Structure 1
């Protein structure tokens, strides 16, 4: 079996397409979140320095920074879940067809 046979298989094309779309979508979400944060730092730094409520030392910048880190973890967890369910099934189907 050669590489061209695998690349032309419908299951491989579907797997590659779904993985690429998911990866691109998740990359756009993460990049947009970071870009928005950086733009806020550049143009509205006072906003990030405001305390969450009166009397606290924790600012909105800290909360948003932690939120960005959490978003990264959530996107990673979503990808792992998707890879362990949908992508593994498609890979298994491809392997069975190619045997």
Structure 2
């Protein structure tokens, strides 16, 4: 009985659409994060003098520190974006789909 429920859920076109949407969204966020991180690494390798510049005259904080913190903040923001989308879209859709599949029992 449990396996039939799992099979029915997995065979549902709505389930497949939901999985595809979630995968597309997570791959997009992953690609953005990878691009930001490797862009920063390339910047360090190819233009270290720009990252070594201080923020303003007499400052001890360099542009590289600001860029590094910016990458961390963007990673946190992307995580928040995924959590919001999961809570508002993916989870309710999955709950409705599971309820529909349960009715077939």
Please tell me the TM-score bracket, short chain as reference.
over 0.9
What is the RMSD of the two structures over their aligned residues, measured on CA atoms?
Answer: 1.0
Distance in 2, Cα, partners of 1:57 & 1:50: 9
Structure 1 runs (4+) deviating above 4 angstroms are: none
2:10 and 2:16 in contact (8 A); partners too? yes
Structure 1-normalised TM-score?
0.94
SS in 1 for 2:60: coil
1:11 and 1:93 in contact (8 A); partners too? no
For structure 1, list consecutive stretches of 5 or more residues without a partner in the other structure. none
For structure 2, list consecutive stretches of 5 or more residues without a partner in the other structure. none
Instruction: Select the residue among 66, 73, 78 that pairs with 1:75.
Output: 78
> Are 2:16 and 1:16 aligned?
no
- Figure out how many residues of one structure are paired with residues of the other and give that number: 99
Distance in 1, Cα, partners of 2:5 & 2:94: 17
SS in 2 for 1:55: coil
